[in-house]
């Protein structure tokens, strides 16, 4: 009973075996090879074998077990080979990505590389990856960036582009980092905002995953508790992989990945690979973040140093100029008085001497020459005055700090604590450093004297539109409306000591600066003084010194 099958022939023609494929020419003549590679899988052979089972002593029956086992082992070898290949690919891939992760201190470059690795076909090949990062103050888990197509059309376009160029993983990471990052951030902005969660929401799926430091592979997002419905809807509601990013027990962020476009199920291998991959990624992100903060601090310190040097130079110049002023004042006094006397009496004499008197012309000479000397003196003095650079662009915070540093002993002795709330990076304000310092010192002294039993002074600087507001609040006894009106009048003082000039002069100084002293007070609670300084550079008004 011979079937139409060819297993028992030594050599066959190509059309005799249905399982032969192109390149199988050798099998036409090699019966052993043909049998082992093709016949054992051929349904005709298996059928022949089955029919022979009924014959003789059942030896062919045992033979079929061997074949079954052979096929099973063959499948296993195939699967192991494929696994080995995939591991091999993974190692190469880790090496490529690892180099960037280990060397880059640019957080965006690290993130670009990591997310490209997750979403590219040469990496883990998932459709979409979303990165949420814990913010600096550890208050929020914030959507940072998402990578992937938003629609099937976009996916087709991107995949086609990648296929055409045959980019390496590293190339793709770099292209993403240098060209696509801002656009990608913008593209997913709404989603990133929706996915942000406060760290305090311990019951939230994201926060739980992060806190438990455990990867979650969710098959149906709608069926798990702890995620807001609209978040689940925006994520597509289907399968989702969530990998917490942890570096040395510190929570860095959360990585979400899915196959929203093609719907390919996420395999156990995907989960394991991405989980392994998340370790160097977490470390690299943390390191890059720290580096970024270090750079920021460094920049701040450098800027502060430059500013300090500038201010020191200015103060030095001011001191020099003050000295020049003092010398000028002395010269003025020693020369002007005699000139006034000589010229003054000469004029007086001239008035009483008739024109025709010969002495009249002599006296006239004295008057004229004194006048000339006075003019020269005036020139010298006005030059020395013009050297005074006090009205200039100054750093208000620096001024506040300097004034309060000078009051440290007074504050300590009076048991008064100071709380500073100074807005960083304020623009400079045009002011007379000496006068505004005096003003602030008067306000502080006033507050200190008002709080004889100790208390607190709060000093705040803030930018409000085109003004810098310096606010000084004390916890003193406060003033009633009448007193507030009166305090800027000279010699009104509720204190037994003191000249009673502090606040009136403050008001005058601020008037010079084109602003006013605002006082708000509640009896029994304290007083708030506000100085508003204009910073607009168009209106470069000088001090209104002449009155």
Partner 1 sequence: MARLLIVDDERDIRYLYAAELEDEGYEVETAGNGADAAELLKHHSFDLVVLDIQMKGESGLQLLQKIVKERTDLPVILCTAFSCYKEDFSSWLADGYVVKSSDLTELKNEVARVLKKKHH
Q: Indicate which single residue of 370, 446, 473, 488 sits in contact with partner 1 (rule: CB under 8 A).
A: 370
Q: Which stretch binds partner 1 (CB under 8 A): 141-149, 171-179, 332-340, 401-409?
A: 332-340
The helix or strand, by DSSP H or E, that contains position 344, with its residue range, turns out to be helix 268-351
348 binds partner 1 (CB under 8 A): yes
Nearest Cα to Cα of residue 241 among 267, 279, 202, 213: 267
- Minimum Å distance from CB 323 to partner 1? 13
The interface region with partner 1, picked from 2-10, 268-276, 336-344, 477-485 by CB under 8 A, is 336-344
- Output 274 or 444, the one with its CB closest to partner 1: 444
Q: How far apart (Å, rounded) are the C-alpha atoms in residues 474 and 447?
A: 6
Q: Which of residues 473-532 bind partner 1 (CB under 8 A)?
A: 490-491, 499-501, 505, 508-509
Task: Give all strands of the β-sheet with 467-474 in edge-to-edge order.
Answer: 416-422, 455-464, 467-474, 526-534, 517-522
How far is Cα 451 from Cα 278, in angstroms, rounded to an integer?
A: 59
Token readout for 242 is 């969530």
Residue 238 as a binder of partner 1 (CB under 8 A): the answer is no
Q: Is 422 in the site for partner 1 (CB under 8 A)?
A: no
| Binding segment (CB under 8 A) for partner 1, from list 127-135, 148-156, 213-221, 341-349 | 341-349
Residue matched to tokens 């002074």: 457
Asked whether the beta carbons of 493 and 500 are under 8 A apart, the reply is: yes
Q: Which stretch binds partner 1 (CB under 8 A): 144-152, 182-190, 334-342, 416-424?
A: 334-342
Q: Which residue has the tokens 């004029």?
A: 347
Instruction: Say whether residue 85 binds partner 1 (CB under 8 A).
Output: no
Size of the site for partner 1 (CB under 8 A): 36
CA distance 530 to 396: 14
Which residue's CB is nearer to partner 1, number 158 or number 335? 335
Q: How far apart (Å, rounded) are the C-alpha atoms in residues 265 and 118?
A: 15
Closer residue to partner 1, CB minimum distance, 185 or 434: 434
Binding residue (CB under 8 A) for partner 1 from 180, 347, 428, 469: 347
Q: Are strands 216-218 and 467-474 parallel, antiparallel or unpaired?
A: unpaired
Phi-psi region of 226 (alpha: psi -120 to 50; beta: other; left: phi over 0): left
- Decide: is 321 part of the binding site for partner 1 (CB under 8 A): no
Residue 244 in contact with partner 1, rule: CB under 8 A: no
- Which residue, 147, 155, 226, 158, is CA-closest to 191? 147
Decide: is 544 part of the binding site for partner 1 (CB under 8 A).
no
| φ, ψ dihedrals at 459, nearest 5° | -120, 130
Sheet containing 197-198, strands listed edge to edge, beginning at the edge strand earlier in sequence: 197-198, 140-147, 128-134, 250-258, 240-247, 216-218
Window 376-395: residues binding partner 1 (CB under 8 A): 381, 385
**Contact positions vs partner 1 (CB under 8 A):** 325, 328-329, 332-333, 336-337, 339-348, 351, 367, 370-371, 374, 381, 385, 435, 438, 490-491, 499-501, 505, 508-509, 545, 547
């Amino acid at each position: 009973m011979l079937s139409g099958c060819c297993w028992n022939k030594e050599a066959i023609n190509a059309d005799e075996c249905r399982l032969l494929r192109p390149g199988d020419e050798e099998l036409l003549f090699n019966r052993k090879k043909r049998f082992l590679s093709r016949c054992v899988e051929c349904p005709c052979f298996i059928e022949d074998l089955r029919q022979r089972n009924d014959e003789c002593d059942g030896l062919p029956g045992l033979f079929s077990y061997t074949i079954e086992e052979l096929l099973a082992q063959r499948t296993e070898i195939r699967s192991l080979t494929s696994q080995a290949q995939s591991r091999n690919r993974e190692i190469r891939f880790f090496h490529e990505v690892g180099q960037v992760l280990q060397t880059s201190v640019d957080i965006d470059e690290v993130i670009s590389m990591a997310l490209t690795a997750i979403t590219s076909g040469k990496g883990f090949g998932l459709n979409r990856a979303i990165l949420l990062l814990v913010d600096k103050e550890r208050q929020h888990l914030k959507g940072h960036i998402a990578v992937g197509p938003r629609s099937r059309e976009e996916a087709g376009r991107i995949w086609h582009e990648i296929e055409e160029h045959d980019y390496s993983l590293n190339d793709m990471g770099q292209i993403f980092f240098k060209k696509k990052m801002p656009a990608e951030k913008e593209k997913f902005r709404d989603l990133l905002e929706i996915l942000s969660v406060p760290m305090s929401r311990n019951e939230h799926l994201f926060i739980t995953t992060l806190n438990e430091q455990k990867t979650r592979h969710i098959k149906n997002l709608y069926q798990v508790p702890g995620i807001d419905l609209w978040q689940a809807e925006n994520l597509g509601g289907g399968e989702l992989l969530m990998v917490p990013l942890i570096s040395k027990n510190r929570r860095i962020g959360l990585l979400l990945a899915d196959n929203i476009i093609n719907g390919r199920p996420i395999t156990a291998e995907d989960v394991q690979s991405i989980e392994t991959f998340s370790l160097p990624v977490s470390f690299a992100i943390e390191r890059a973040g720290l580096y970024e903060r270090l750079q920021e601090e460094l920049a701040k310190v450098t800027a502060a140093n430059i500013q300090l040097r500038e201010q020191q130079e200015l103060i030095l110049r001011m001191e020099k100029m003050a000295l020049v002023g003092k010398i000028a004042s002395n010269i003025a006094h020693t020369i002007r008085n005699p000139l006034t006397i000589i010229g003054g009496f000469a004029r007086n004499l001239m008035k009483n001497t008739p024109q025709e008197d010969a002495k009249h012309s002599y006296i006239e000479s004295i008057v004229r020459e004194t006048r000339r000397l006075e003019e020269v003196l005036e020139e010298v003095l006005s030059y020395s005055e013009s050297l005074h650079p006090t009205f200039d662009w100054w750093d208000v915070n620096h001024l506040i700090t300097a004034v309060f540093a000078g009051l440290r002993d007074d504050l300590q002795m009076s048991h008064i604590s100071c709380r500073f709330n100074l807005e960083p990076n304020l623009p400079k304000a045009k002011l007379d450093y000496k006068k505004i310092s005096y003003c602030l010192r008067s306000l502080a002294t006033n507050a200190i004297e008002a709080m004889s039993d100790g208390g607190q002074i709060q000093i705040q600087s803030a930018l409000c539109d085109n003004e810098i507001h310096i606010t000084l609040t004390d916890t003193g006894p406060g003033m009633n409306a009448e007193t507030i009106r009166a305090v800027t009048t000279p010699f009104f003082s509720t204190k037994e000591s003191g000249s009673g000039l502090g606040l009136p002069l403050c008001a005058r100084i601020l008037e010079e600066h084109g602003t006013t002293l605002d006082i708000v007070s509640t009896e029994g609670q304290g007083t708030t003084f506000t100085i508003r300084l204009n910073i607009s550079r168009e209106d470069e008004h000088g001090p209104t010194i002449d009155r």
